[in-house]
Amino acid sequence: MIHSIDPGILFLQEEDVIKAGALDMKMNLAVTEQVYKMLGQGQIYNPPKVHLAMPINSGINWASYFNSMPCYIGGSVNVGGIKWAAESKKNSTIPGIPYGIDITILSDPETVLPFCILDGTLITAMRTSAVAGVFAKYTAPSNTQTVTLVGAGVIGRTMVMAICEALPQVKTIYLSDLDLSKAEKLAAEYKETYPQQIIPTADAKAAALQSQVIVTETTARQPFLDQSWIRPGVTVINMGSNEADLDVVMGSDVIAVDYWDQIITYESKAAAQLYKAGKLHKEQVVEIADMVLGKWPGRQDDRQVINCSSLGLAALDIMIGYQLFQNAQKQGLGTMLKLWEKPLWE
């Protein structure tokens, strides 16, 4: 980026982010692959996120939380940033407020001046599903024609987009939710958008047993996906926490994660629980960086069971946010703010 001593900050509200291309899943998938490639090449510093659950000491039974997610992207990008991510269960009962609310700040790594603040809520929803799309692209059996998505919330919405773009050969998508009406509404919305048949269902397990790929994107507090869901040749992608039994993960032929160093710090993730129990080590897993850099040979046959899980990287939010910032500049979007007219102390 062009370094500057200008204290101006471009503020992009959600409407600006949309106009700048946040809902372009093809772009999100491409940037996601780029991020993991750079991560694997050592060009990104992405420390584990700091998770602040409330009430204090509530653990996985939080009512709300904040995540602090900093990172630095080097190479030709050379941008620093942080996402302040938050979720509240109470918000699900309040009309007009999203369940998750995120803010992204982009900064110049030389002068450390922030140059853009943007709504990160939509970026989170898009990049979360883009990660699943990349997992699916590299791990789905070659004969994949049917996919089951478990959860028809916000991530369920973007997951339809990601799977349709990443696996264009798919003919049928089962969209499952405990609230069948949510799945029906979402399926109807996408009816004219994608050629795939999207079938709403309340029986996720029955749908999963007919599918080559299963993606879970839920807010489950207890595992629901056990070995009875698994048949030879399936790829299981767990995007939420507490979704799959530990023996489902350990019983897989291949265990894949987005970023080992971070996922083992998050106690609700199966990989972290298995690691802390001494049952899983880094040498036993495949990371997305290995996939996109060609270090992993891929599926050895269509009967392998592959389990994938993700926690999400700040680098994805920052890289996509930077792309949207550049698009917004070209389109003249956003509102300029200033930290100061003249700093009081230098």
Q: What is the DSSP annotation of 19-49?
A: HTTTT-HHHHHHHHHHHHHHHHTT-EE-PPP
The reply to whether 287 falls in a domain is yes
Count helices and strands in the chain by DSSP H and E runs: 11, 16
pLDDT of 100 reads: 92
For residue 3, is pLDDT > 70?
no
Taking the C-alpha atoms of residue 171 and residue 344, their distance in angstroms, rounded to an integer, is 62
pLDDT of 315 reads: 98
Same-domain status, 273 and 334: no
Mean pLDDT of 214-225: 93
CATH of the domain at 96: 3.30.1780.10
- CB-based contact 87:99 (threshold 8 Å): yes
Taking the C-alpha atoms of residue 69 and residue 85, their distance in angstroms, rounded to an integer, is 8
Same-domain status, 230 and 191: yes
Write the DSSP symbol of residue 225: B
CATH of the domain at 187: 3.40.50.720
Same-domain status, 99 and 185: no
Same-domain status, 117 and 151: no
Mean pLDDT of 180-202: 95
Residue range 135-177, pLDDT digits in tens: 999 999 999 999 999 999 999 999 999 999 999 999 999 999 9
Query: What residue type is assigned to position 203 of the chain?
Result: D
Q: What value does the mean pLDDT of the chain take?
A: 95
SS3 content of the chain, % helix, strand, coil (to 5): 35, 25, 40
For residue 1, is pLDDT > 60?
no
Same-domain status, 285 and 148: yes
pLDDT of 6 reads: 85
Q: Which residue has the tokens 């001593």?
A: 5
For residue 208, is pLDDT > 80?
yes
Q: Which of 250, 29, 229 is nearest to 148 (CA)?
A: 229
Same-domain status, 59 and 93: yes
Taking the C-alpha atoms of residue 147 and residue 176, their distance in angstroms, rounded to an integer, is 11
Same-domain status, 48 and 172: no
Same-domain status, 31 and 112: yes
CA separation (Å) from 4 to 7, 172, 344?
8, 50, 19
Same-domain status, 186 and 75: no
Q: What is the extent of the structural domain holding 320? A: 8-123+314-338
Higher pLDDT, 207 or 57: 207
SS3 80: strand
- Residue 31 confidence class, pLDDT cut points 50, 70, 90: very high
Taking the C-alpha atoms of residue 335 and residue 258, their distance in angstroms, rounded to an integer, is 35
The reply to whether 47 falls in a domain is yes
* Domain count within the chain: 2
Taking the C-alpha atoms of residue 131 and residue 316, their distance in angstroms, rounded to an integer, is 9
For residue 4, is pLDDT > 80?
no
pLDDT of 219 reads: 87
The reply to whether 51 falls in a domain is yes
The reply to whether 2 falls in a domain is no
SS3 207: helix
Residue range 60-81, pLDDT digits in tens: 789 999 999 999 999 999 999 9
DSSP notation for 188-203? HHTTTT-SSEEEEES-
Percent above pLDDT 90 for the chain:
93
Same-domain status, 179 and 266: yes
Same-domain status, 190 and 258: yes
Phi, psi for residue 328 in degrees, rounded to 5: -65, -40
The reply to whether 344 falls in a domain is no
Task: Name the helix (H) or strand (E) containing 335.
Answer: strand 335-338
Output the CA torsion sign for 283, 289, 291, 297: negative
The reply to whether 104 falls in a domain is yes
Same-domain status, 174 and 305: yes
Taking the C-alpha atoms of residue 38 and residue 17, their distance in angstroms, rounded to an integer, is 24
pLDDT of 38 reads: 98
Q: What is the signed CA dihedral for 106, 109, 111, 114, rounded to 10 degrees?
A: 10
For residue 331, is pLDDT > 90?
yes
For residue 244, is pLDDT > 90?
yes
Mean pLDDT of 1-5: 67
- Residue 2 confidence class, pLDDT cut points 50, 70, 90: low
First and final C-alpha spacing in the chain: 24
The reply to whether 345 falls in a domain is no
The reply to whether 1 falls in a domain is no
